[in-house]
Amino acid sequence: MNTIKIETTKNKENGWERFNFKSFQFGETPTDHFFLAEFKNGSWTNPRIEPFHSLNISPFALCFHYGQTVFEGMKAFRQDDGKVHIFRPKKHHKRFNRSLERMCMPEIEEELFLNALEKLIQLEQHWIPKEEGVSLYIRPFVIATEPRLGVKIADEYTFFITCTPIGLYYPKPVRVKVETDYVRAAEGGAGYAKCGGNYGAAFFAAKKANEQGFDQVIWTDAKTHEFIEESGTMNLMLFMDNKLVTPKLSSSILDGVTRSSILQIAKDLGISVEERPVSWRELKKQLESGSRVELFGVGTAAVISPISCVQIQEVDYFPYIENDAVMYRLKKELDNLRRGRTSDTYHWNHFI
């Protein structure tokens, strides 16, 4: 329920009326409105929704120089019965605050986060057509806006929520390599936070891998390079020996909402689940044994990303990606829950 007053200025245009939902590129078209609020003198002020527009920010704004930027990525869906919901916003909110805390940025109370989301998605629900496949990608983020060139923790910030339509991602199998030179995150670092710098710092290894014919890398731990952590910007899972195995969370692994949802769905299907350290040697041994191994990434945007080829120490291996793979069944279960076709036992669908 809306308890915080959020001033709304309506856009005179309805972009969704002329948007081609059948064919579009993800991330190009903002919806008609966005949310913003400013942090000043120790509190979040002036929460409001405005027609989407560009910003007027000082080149001295601290976010441009010292990287205090944090974001989230979540989705809103329309069910078969027409109702619209946001998927697990409370879990995303908790992670948002953990990221903000790690970056010395002010946290956002749950009430403000949920009220802002509900009001914005209510306004933008026409951007989620009835047809299966199109959902709304939601990008909340906070940046340091205090204009000051000296190195310091900023005293002023802006919190935004923007949205853009997202289409069906056909899970296209990807080629990856186990990365043992470059590092995404180290124990004690900011790997568990969804901060902009983690992405900027990861591009280089991904670019090098692209040049060698790979789509992405599988990151290994910074200390020993023995244990696999994540694949690009997705959490990593394996299905082998009739078990779903995923690296245990640590300060260098992001606590993915998709990871958590898939693990729960698997448990509910009676699949045994293991969260533990996984070395690339173990993965290599499994793949060499000739037994069936599924390897895949999980994340909000693509849900699952099957890995068809993994290079370990210069040798290519081919995980199982045929239609009867367990990963597709897990994805289907999650899709059904979001469409309202199966019961939402854990109240993950937050209706607006």
Ligand X SMILES: *Cc1c(COP(=O)(O)O)cnc(C)c1O
Q: Which residues bind ligand X (CB under 6 A)?
A: 73, 194, 230, 233-235, 254, 256-259, 299-300
- Strands 272-275 and 43-51: what pairing? unpaired
For residue 2, the minimal CB distance to ligand X (Å) is: 25
Tokens of 98: 């953990």
What's the min distance (Å) between Cβ of 303 and ligand X? 9
Closer CB to ligand X, 15 or 299, in the complex: 299
Question: Is the four-CA dihedral 146, 148, 154, 160 of positive or negative sign?
Answer: positive
Residue 224 per-residue DSSP state:
T
Q: Least separation, in Å, of the C-beta of 210 and ligand X?
A: 18
Alpha-carbon span 26 to 164, nearest angstrom: 7
Q: How far is the CB of 233 from ligand X (least distance, A)?
A: 4
By C-beta, is 44 or 113 nearer to ligand X? 113
Other C-beta atoms lying within 10 Å of the C-beta of residue 105:
25
Residue 141 in tokens = 């983020």
Considering the complex, state which of residue 89 and residue 256 has its C-beta at the smaller distance from ligand X. Answer: 256
Residue number, 263 or 287, with CB nearest to ligand X = 263
Least distance from C-beta 225 to ligand X, angstroms? Answer: 18
Angle at 266 between CA 265 and CA 270, to 5 degrees: 115
DSSP state, residue 200: H
Q: Whole-angstrom Cα distance, residue 220 to residue 233?
A: 13
Specify the residue, 115 or 235, whose C-beta has the smaller distance to ligand X.
235
Other CB atoms within a 10 A radius of the CB of residue 291 amount to: 11
Nearer to ligand X, 47 or 299 (CB): 299
Which CB, 158 or 198, lies closer to ligand X?
Answer: 198
Count Cα neighbours of 222 within 13 Å in the Cβ-side half-sphere.
Answer: 13
The DSSP bridge partners found for residue 33 are 51
Min dist. Cβ of residue 122 to ligand X (A):
23
Give the shortest CB-151-to-ligand X separation in angstroms: 25
- In whole angstroms, give the CA distance from residue 276 to residue 251: 14
Chain centre to alpha carbon of residue 290: 33
